[in-house]
Structure 1
Amino acid sequence: MGKKINKQADADLVRDLKQGDPAAMEEIVKRYSNKVYNLAYHLTRDAHAAEEIMQDVFLTVIAKIGTLTTEAYFSTWLYRVTTNAAYGYLRKEKKFSEQTPVEDIDQEQYLDYDWSTLPDDVLLSEESKEVLRESIDSLPEAMRTVVVLKDVEGLKNEEIAETLGISVPAVKSRLHRGRLILRQLLSEYFSKYTEPSGEEK
């Protein structure tokens, strides 16, 4: 395999791993460690826990890879293992948060917010990025998981549904609600730079 391993498709790596090739596992870790860590961190909001979960996830991959019958679905399976591990940690630590009722959100106010008036240096600032990260982290677990998988990891709705064991309509509903809450939180932050359209300071 040697130099060509980094160009292999996931399905080929999984087949090699099932045959006991250690180089395949090394490439999987290299390819997915950041994604697994980031997902675990977003779900737990704990860097130390995310590190432990990442290690546990790859140990699970080694132990359970034989149960994966369709190699092409490896990434979806890996996200499911990571999500389950993160939820297991949250249950053990009793850190599940209460769901935020979507009815509590003033939808018209935040859907009409005029983002185009914000300067690029505000939108792209490190402070704004940190506010976005904190806003995502503050979402209820069910919504946060879907938002992270969709908007951070770039999964399709069907992949998210498969990962979480829910329907595609449920994914769309949670994504809509999560984005609505994010829009509220970000609008509150950006309001110090500009006012919603139609209003003057």
Structure 2
Amino acid sequence: MAVSLDRTKKRDAEALCIGYNDSLRKLYDGCFDSLVGYLRAHFRSCPHQAEEIAHNAFERMAAHKKPGTVDNIRAFLWRTARNMALSDLRSRRVAQRYLIESRQALGQEDDHSLTPERILSGKEQVAIAVSCLRAMPEQRRRAFILTRIEGLSHAEASETLGVSRPAVSKHVARAAADIYAALGEDTPNPEERDG
């Protein structure tokens, strides 16, 4: 047997939903950037992870069955994002530990000890890469430095450089290919590169 609401109760229920959605939209507009900044600062999340966690926290809040039961919606949002970031951090640690243990079990331990030969080789490679970067066209060099060294996303780099995101991607790909060629190495597959 279906329960029907009289018109007044139905109108009140609709007003509550509209009011909650509007306040959630205002909260999103007003707090998203500061929430992302909080996640970056306190959990050292990369920009993409911090944005993803913040979006997920807002989604969880929007899906909350009884929004009226939350006294401080902003505190609830921050707590939700904090818990999600901690969970993400734990899962990355577990994955890293698994990778290390599986390599050890298979006898594939990497020897990362610093020997004079490795240090000299590393210095030579850095000098070649720097020389290659200096010889590049300015836009290509700046796009590469912003994304690969300073850690900006391609979207952020496109805003900084005043070019489209695909243009940034092309500049970065060409710069990486130039550097790999200068180092005498094969260019990695696109799946192996992080974008």
TM-score (norm 1): 0.35
Greater relative CO (CA pairs within 8 A, separation 6+): 1
TM-score (norm 2): 0.36
